[in-house]
Each structure stands twice: as structure tokens, then as C-alpha cells.
Structure 1
């Protein structure tokens, strides 16, 4: 096992961690969720946000302590590998960058093209879409190879544009709320709350990817957990406020256009111009999320390659820029291929399940590392009553996990089985190769 990845340049601060959490979490989902959640829970929709917020605040505390305890590049993967060893590390590494990252990037790139096609029909044509995907991937890879700080310039511009625009929209909407639209009586069926919470979980997913760049974060033991927790709190508060604003102004009329409730909100406030502005904002939001994932995703592969669980060539660092350029180029090609061919569509069923499995593994790592090491380094973030929190978080995750469909559960189970078998095969071949190699002669 390789130690800290100090070869990478430490160029990120607290603001970059917060920005990446917001960038990834506030994506296309928030432009659809208010209507979808309202269709399930009606006036009591805020309950789903409360449940989801509790889950992610618990996760935030667990992941915050992990990132302070292990301030290395790799995020969730490196925590699982350090706690449970190579096989768990191999499975989590591939599930993370492929089962979540590549498939999500394929979906996001096509979502961008679909939004653009609403204004420019040429984006419906395959050659145009392929050129569009190539341009996005090439730009991100170029900035990423030059340095994560260069990538963060674009991410910050996109992220704070969408955040500020949403804040303005919500601030105005809150002054127009009708109390009757947000008041409710009686508790909705618990199964409905679970269904709506699972829907929200999909939108909240991904913010923890910001921790994958801990090896490039200054004072990572402090800035990584603090930035992540601040980001999670802002996301929870932001999503809840946006929903209340949309529900409070639109009420049941949200269901008339469930595919664009925020655009309908802007239209109600500003007329047709507001509708168009929110659709443009949705393009910026998706682009922001995509840019963060494309930038952070190679750090997971890099960490796995450093630990020699996947080909070590992927851990090569650029001699001038100090970035994992082979991992960046590899993923650029793979992301482009999946987006252009549409192959990601057949595997999208894995995304939520794979993310929840990674979360399970990370929370179990949180508990195991706590039990194995009672010592606390100076300045390390340490969660009070952390053991109780970890067990409570596992129960919450189990409840969410079993809201998945049988198809999703079977898909994630089959994926874990295949990856475990692949790891054992690779280990067997590695041992055979070592046994067949002639011993070195000593002088």
C-alpha cells in the first residue's frame, strides 16, 4: 500500500471544497424535483427534504471525520481501502469512478445537448452532438492537466453563477408565497415518504466527490471536512428553500408542467423571459456538475493506481504540471465514448445503487478506523458520539437502500460479484507470474 500522494500540488483551499460540493449537488435534479416530490407527497413534500437532509448531515459528519483522519487523494475509495484492504478497495474504486462517474458523465453530457437542442435543433443530430461532447471533454481535460487550480476557475464561474441566480429567484419567490400552498395536515404514508426520499437522494448524491482531491488541498485535515460540511449544509438548506418557494407560489399548478417547475416559477414571476432564463440556467447548472465530476474523477483512478490495484501507469504524474495526466486522458476518452455511443443508458440503473454501496463502505470504514485507533491527532476533526452516529447512519442507509427496485438491487449485486471475481483472478495471475519468474542472482 502506498502512503500519501504528496507528489500532487496542493493548490486548493476551503472555498474550492465548498464550491465542488455545491457544483456537483446542485445540478439538473433541482430543476425537476419540486414537481416530482410534490406529485408523491403533495403539501407535505418538505418532509422528504427533512429526511434526506438528516441522512446527508449524518453522512457529512462521518465523511468529515474520515477526510480529516485520512487527508489523501481518493476520497471514499481511499477510506474503504485503508479500512478493509485491497479487495474492498478494488471494488469500491471501480464502482466509484465507473459505476458512478462515467455513467453520470454520459447522462450529463447528453442532458446538455438536449437542453441546447431546445433552442438549436442542430444539436439533435448525431455528428453535432459528438463534436459537442468532444469539445467539452477536451476543454476539461486540457484545464485538468494544466492543474486543478485552472479547472477550478471554470467550475467556480459556473457554480456561483447558478447559485446566485437561484438565490435571486428564490428570494423574490419567497415574497409571493401563498400560505395555503405549503400548509398541510396529517402525516403522509411512510412508504410515500420513502419513495420521495429516494428520489431526492439521487439529486443529493455526488457532493462527497469533492473529497477526492484532498491530496491537492492545503491543510486538508481541516479544509476538507470543514468545506464538505459547509457544502452539505448549504445544499440541504438550498434544496429545501427552493422547493418551498416553488410550492408556495405554484401550488398544484406545478403538476401542469412537471418537467420544468422552476421555469414555471420564473415565468409566474417574470413572464416568458423568466422561463427562458431558467432554461439557460439549467444548462449552466448541468455544465457545472459535469465539469466538477470530470475534474475530480481521475483522482480516484490515480489513488487506486498508486495502491497498485489497477495498472500503475494510471498513477503517472505530469513532470511540469504535477497532475495525474494519464488518468485524466484515459477517463476523457472513456467518458467521451460512453456519451457518444449512448452505452451509459444500459447501465444507469447502477448509479444510485453503486453510490449507496460506496456510502455503506465509507460509514463502515468510519466505524472500523475509530475502533482500531483511539488516538486523535492534533487538529483532527472528531465527531462527538461518533460510534452512535455511525450506527444510526447505517440504519438510515439500509432503509434507503431497500427502497431500490429489484432490478437495481440485482444489478448492483451482480456488479460486486463480478468485480470480486475479477480481483481474485488478477491476484491469482499475479501470484503465478511471480512464482514463474526466475529469482534474481546475487553477486
Structure 2
């Protein structure tokens, strides 16, 4: 590793690459389960939760788009928060997103792939076989990540467009067979029920913002980042709403009996066992696509934290030939293998949602601060109309959803943030003391 250098990343990502990552990450394993879970809570009025979350993420996406054009650097949300509020806030957001969201989510997706494959290959129910399976998946995406984001994006695009095309075909046939009685509701659901359903749905929408973490590898990032992200978010909201309408419109009350695989049941209803098998394959591709995008992008967050000096500098070292953060990639691959092998992370998915909402709130506050302090932005800035209204709406809505978490979950998130704050203070104390220690050694 001695010949590794800290260098500039190559700019190879265009608008289509950003859109692909947004779709790849957001349209993952969640949408294969959530139509039934939301239906249990809201019944025929379930689409209201999708519309509510859609408005939140569209408002959030527009705010993110403006901030990304102000700070076109690698690191995504971490960089926005760090530039706005300083190193402590940057350390908290970097660590919270990297370990409290990205690592746990990738570990969950690895196990989800193993569970899907185990339905055809029962041996994957054994721990040794799962670890071997995890090692192969991690080896493939690590090798592609090290070779460069261009090669990785080709792989992700193939998986993503296969997934999206298959789901659009399923939705098209589903919409042609819906019963209006299954999608018409009487009266307005309790607002608390919409909040409960939205807390689940937020998990499905999560992750698209990771597409912004490669700002340092985008062509013309002040244009590519905002346009690609907004187009991607619009696509996600539209696809999610259509998927739910198709599932609910065809299955109706039988969704209550098919909570584990509603999309597979829809495919079986439309095309028999062949359809069931096909959607099972598509679900594997969907999860693999999401996992690949998250893994590819989160090592750039680790790299950005190291470049800014809040994490060990070794993670900022780039491969001399490919110009990629090789040490960060290998470290996260090993960490993912260890966590995925335990399986305990699956009970922490709700904390992934809570941690993500906290970071979203930090970006919205950064959005407000940049607007208030930067009175003379350049002409190339992507500035949204009605920005203060959209930011306020997203802020209030996310705070309300955040407090739908239980007291135990809120306490767990609070303790995690407190632990990170203590770690930051210890690191800062060590850095302050290090010069005096070196002077004492030199004097001896």
C-alpha cells in the first residue's frame, strides 16, 4: 500500500448515472413488502401514505438539489452538514450515516439476498454457506468499486434497468386487472394512522440521497447533481404509487393474508407459478441492485470524512492506477461481512430510518443556513422557487414522523449520538495533545 496516493477522484458520472443510483437504491427490497404492511394499517386508503411521503421526498429532493449545487463535493449529506455547521456536526453526520444507516442497510440487504436464494437453494440457510455467499457478493462489488466508478456504474445500470423494466411490466398488467372496489375508500383515515404507515414507508424511500455522495466524480456537478436527483425522486414516487395501486387493486382484502410477498402474490395471480418464480428472481436482482449502489456510494462518504480530517487519513488513500479509495472499500467490505454474518442487525432496521431522518433534518437546516448567509450566489446555482415553504414543510413533516418512533427507539438513537459526540471529543483532545507530546519526544 506504500505507493497509494491521496489524489483527485475521476469525474465520470453524468445525469443518467445519478438518476440510476436514485432508482437503484430507492426501489429496493422495501417495496416488495410494504404494500401489504401499509394496507394492514390504512386499508383501502393506503395510497394516502404514499402521496404524503411522496410530497415529503419531493420537497426534500428539491432542497437537496439546491444544496448540492452549492457544495459540489464528494461526501453528499455529510459534506453539506459539515460545511454549514462545522467539524462536530460533520463527524456526527458522517458516522451516523456511514455506520448507523449505510453499514446496517447493506448487511440487511445481504441477508435479504441470501433469504431469497435460500428458497431455491436451502443450503443457504446454513451459516457457513451464507458467509461464503456474502463473500462472493462483496468480492464482486469490491472489485468493481476498486476498478473505478465507471465500471461499477455499468454493473449497477444493468441491474437497475432490469429491475425497473420487470416491475413496470408487472404493474402494467396489474393496472389492467384492478377492481375499483379495492382502491376506493370511504372517509379519511386517522392522521395518527397515516403517521404510523409513513414511518414504514420512509424506509422504502430512503437512500436516494446517497447518489449525491459522488459529487467529486460528477461531470459538471452543479448541474448533474440537482437535475439527476430531482428526476430520480419523481421517478421513485411515481413507480411506488403505481406499484401499490396495482397490488391493492388486484389483491384487495387478500393482502391481509399475503403480507410476506405481496408482489410475488400479484405475479402469481396474473401469471400463475411462472409469474411467482419470475418476480422472485426480480426481487433478488432488486435487492442486489440496491446493495451495489449503497456499497459503491458509502465508501465515498468514508473517503470524504478522511479527506476532511475527521476520520483516519488512511481512508483517503487512492489506488495509484484506478484513482479509487481502495482502503475504504476493503475496510467496509470486511466490516459488512462481519455484521451480515451475525444477522442481529435485522432488528435494528427501524433505527436505520430514525438515523436517516436525523441526517435529513441536518441537511434541511443546512439548506436554510446557506440561503440566509449566501446573499450573492452565482448564476450557475440551482435555486428552487418557494424554497423556504418547501423546506419548512419537509422539516415539520419529518419531525412529526420521527416522533412516531417508540421511546425505546428514540432512546437508542439518542445514546448512539451521545456516544459519537464523546468519541469526537476524545479524538479532538488527542489531536490537541499530540503536538506537545511530539515536542517532548524531540527535546529528549
Q: TM-score, normalised by structure 2?
A: 0.96
Aligned twin of 1:19:
20
Q: CA deviation at 1:347?
A: 4.3
Superposed CA RMSD in Å reads 1.4
1:349–1:411 Cα contact (<8 Å) kept: no
**Cα deviation digits, residues 20-54 of structure 1 (max 9, x gap):** 00000001111111111111111111100110001
Matches within 5 A, 1:354-433: 354-433=355-434
- Is 1:108 equivalent to 2:109 in the alignment? yes
In the alignment, the residues of structure 1 paired with residue 230 and residue 113 of structure 2 have an alpha-carbon distance, to the nearest angstrom, of 29
Q: CA deviation at 1:388?
A: 2.6
Q: Secondary structure at the match of 2:323?
A: coil
Q: CA deviation at 1:344?
A: 2.6
In the alignment, the residues of structure 2 paired with residue 347 and residue 40 of structure 1 have an alpha-carbon distance, to the nearest angstrom, of 21
In the alignment, the residues of structure 2 paired with residue 66 and residue 74 of structure 1 have an alpha-carbon distance, to the nearest angstrom, of 13
In the alignment, the residues of structure 1 paired with residue 400 and residue 312 of structure 2 have an alpha-carbon distance, to the nearest angstrom, of 36
In the alignment, the residues of structure 1 paired with residue 114 and residue 407 of structure 2 have an alpha-carbon distance, to the nearest angstrom, of 31
Aligned twin of 1:70:
71
Query: Which sits farther off after the overlay, 403-412 or 229-238?
Result: 403-412
Aligned twin of 1:192:
193
- Is 1:156 equivalent to 2:132 in the alignment? no
Aligned twin of 2:238:
237
1:24–1:288 Cα contact (<8 Å) kept: yes
Matches within 5 A, 1:240-389: 240-345=241-346, 347-389=348-390
1:314–1:324 Cα contact (<8 Å) kept: yes
Q: Secondary structure at the match of 1:437?
A: helix
**Cα deviation digits, residues 367-386 of structure 1 (max 9, x gap):** 11111111222221001122
Aligned twin of 2:211:
210
Aligned twin of 1:168:
169
1:6–1:215 Cα contact (<8 Å) kept: no
- Is 1:41 equivalent to 2:77 in the alignment? no
In the alignment, the residues of structure 1 paired with residue 412 and residue 349 of structure 2 have an alpha-carbon distance, to the nearest angstrom, of 10
Q: TM-score, normalised by structure 1?
A: 0.96
Q: CA deviation at 1:60?
A: 0.2
In the alignment, the residues of structure 1 paired with residue 80 and residue 55 of structure 2 have an alpha-carbon distance, to the nearest angstrom, of 22
| Structure 1: gaps of 5 or more residues | none
Q: Secondary structure at the match of 2:59?
A: helix
- Is 1:225 equivalent to 2:226 in the alignment? yes
Q: CA deviation at 1:6?
A: 7.5
In the alignment, the residues of structure 1 paired with residue 257 and residue 347 of structure 2 have an alpha-carbon distance, to the nearest angstrom, of 30
Residues 1:440 and 1:70: Cα distance change in structure 2 (over 3 Å): farther
Query: Which sits farther off after the overlay, 389-398 or 364-373?
Result: 389-398
Q: CA deviation at 1:421?
A: 1.0
**Cα deviation digits, residues 300-339 of structure 1 (max 9, x gap):** 0000000000101100111110111111111111111111
Q: Which runs of 4+ in 1 moved over 6 A?
A: none
Aligned twin of 2:32:
31
In the alignment, the residues of structure 2 paired with residue 198 and residue 375 of structure 1 have an alpha-carbon distance, to the nearest angstrom, of 38
**Cα deviation digits, residues 241-289 of structure 1 (max 9, x gap):** 1100111111111112111111111111111111111111111100000
Residues 1:106 and 1:168: Cα distance change in structure 2 (over 3 Å): same
In the alignment, the residues of structure 1 paired with residue 90 and residue 382 of structure 2 have an alpha-carbon distance, to the nearest angstrom, of 24
